[in-house]
Structure 1
Amino acid sequence: MSMIILFPVLVALFFLLVHILAYTRIVEHLHICNSTRKALYFFLFVNMTAILGYVASRYLFSPPKLLYFFLSLSIGVGFVLFMGIVLYEFLRLIQRLVPFQEEKRRFFKRSSDIGFLALGSTYIGAGVLEGSKEPAVHYVDIDQKRFNGKRYTIVQISDMHIGGLIDKAFVAKSVAAINRLNPDLVTITGDLADAHIDILKDAVGELRHLKSRFGTYYVVGNHEYFHSIDDTIAYMKELGIHVLENSSLKIDDFYIAGVYDLAGYRADTHIPDIYEAMWGIPQDASTLLLAHQPKYIDYLEGFTPSLILSGHTHGGQIWPFGYLVTLAQPYLKGLHSLGDNRHIYVNSGIGFWGPPMRLGSHSEITCITWS
């Protein structure tokens, strides 16, 4: 099964299981009246239907923006239900293990049920509020003493996920914010769009207005493989953006290189190749590598880029899912030393995937001073 079909199918099946468990393990055990139980059952049914609508809207149709907001919010509700199942099972375990008197047990059950519902509602509200905030500019100083006192300003964005709520106006605002930083170069580290590029040309086209001394450089992320990666690459080149396809070039006193995403191994196309990307770069040269996923550091095959810029993780996007991300990725967000005067920076993403929510993370534009 191709990645284009497999990904939405897995998403739909995961959330279907979550909703079934939410009803059988939570709703059926709540101390509530039958009418409230029926209302919660109806809510679960509507939310699962909205999730299917969200998945379909990514591939089959483009709903009005307000409708898309509620469709995407259903994904966030699904995540809350998943965490709720874990939490509720923990509360039930406590109720069974602690030797309460029956009256106190019923009181604890009613109190925990009310608190559980209130906590879930607050969690969703806080996540939506944080997700609605403008991307923050995060300034990072990386002093590697490489350029005899010269300093380069690099602006990085990642994981914009254009499509749905991330529209032309959002991209235009982001471009204006980046241009105000007066960068030497701009880097885009993947997951740019979440639909076929033909649908998103007006929004993606705003990137042609990016201004910098040495231009804009782009590598694909895993989501580009879901929506005709070749068409996306071709359009980015039409915009005058440098697409790094296992390739490199020299910029002033350093080289910049970029690789395809690790998703290429599963898709069996556009496979990352560090040997090809670093070909012709002197071993002692200062090198900036763009690789969408932080775990690409495990595929460097002995090459030692001076600075690696990555994204993919969204900084966890919604707490506590960052802990799950760290099971697959070596770094969640921010600047990390790789030893020997080398670093990797992991951008938390300027956009979001799924629900318009963030909690414990923020959308960012990174302004790096590299020296």
Structure 2
Amino acid sequence: MPIADPSSATLAFTNRSNLALSDTNGQLFWTTNISAAGNSLSEATGGEATLENNGNFILWSSQGTILWQSFDYPTDTLLPGMKLRITHRTHALQRLISWRNPQDPSPGNFSYGADPDEFLQRFIWNGSTPYRRSPVWNKFVEVGQYIESIKSTIYFTLQPIDDEVYISFGLPAPSVSSLVLMKMDCSGKIKIRTWNSNMSKWTDLQSEPNQECNKFGYCGPFGYCDNTQPIVTCKCLDGFEPNNKQDWTASRFSQGCHRMEALTCGQGDGFLNMSTMKVPSQFLYVTNRSLDECIAECTSNCSCTAFTYTNMSTDAINGVETRCLLWTKDLIDMEKLVGQRGNPLYPG
């Protein structure tokens, strides 16, 4: 809960070396809860707290081991050097959770993190409903857009540690000294922000979704958002047409598109190559296949509507060098992306 009167707040060590935030009446607002984190009382005795230059707030034992650190408990913000857990074996999956509103820091409706069923894609959720989906990972490092105002490119990385996988972001140090952060905003946007020292405030470098067309499923089944045109809008895949042409003309796209000619499975139907796509949601992930084997997986199944293939031999994730994704349902939430951020998609 927010503290109504900040002047009444006290941050102090308890007798077990936990850091605790309370008011003058002794009401506890927050504690590090070291014992719950698996540290013994003897380890916690005689601790000290430091605020590092990267923004990490660390509670140390008298022996110099980390008992607790704020970077392990992201709220609505991810700083360079912080890691957000997107797969788990023994720990809970992590999300950035928005404030309720700009004045109320209690948990809001929007959150950001990996798909709990498939770490290759990340979502913004509105409650439990998908609101925005990021492109599928195809390597360890995803190079973001070059930002002219800070003269640098932002990098997003996928990092396996033991049996878990984390995402993080940052700038190519030490060439850039700009202060940046990633924030799950209460408006539903995931933002990359930088500190503007001239104006003494944070300004947005990137913000997603940046328009209606980029919201989850906005273009409906078999429709895609074309970001490569001056006016971004929904289009049907080649060979498809709108389910409701009147709605489509009026920029109401949710009913999507349908195939103009029925497929004749095994009788010469082929695939369309669509490059640099944010591939659809709800895929089947098949590992250790060659490109020919991936094509065969789809052509041998009359329910298969599309496939994509990536060879990650130099950027293997969890030891898997190739990735074949198959779709057997409606293709939903597609985008044609600018540049090389997407994957080639082969709808049939």
After TM superposition, the score normalised by the length of structure 2 is 0.27
Under a length normalisation based on structure 1, what TM-score does the superposition of the two structures give? 0.26
Structure that is richer in strand per residue = 2
Larger relative helix fraction = 1
| Structure with higher RCO (Cα < 8 A, 6+ apart) | 1
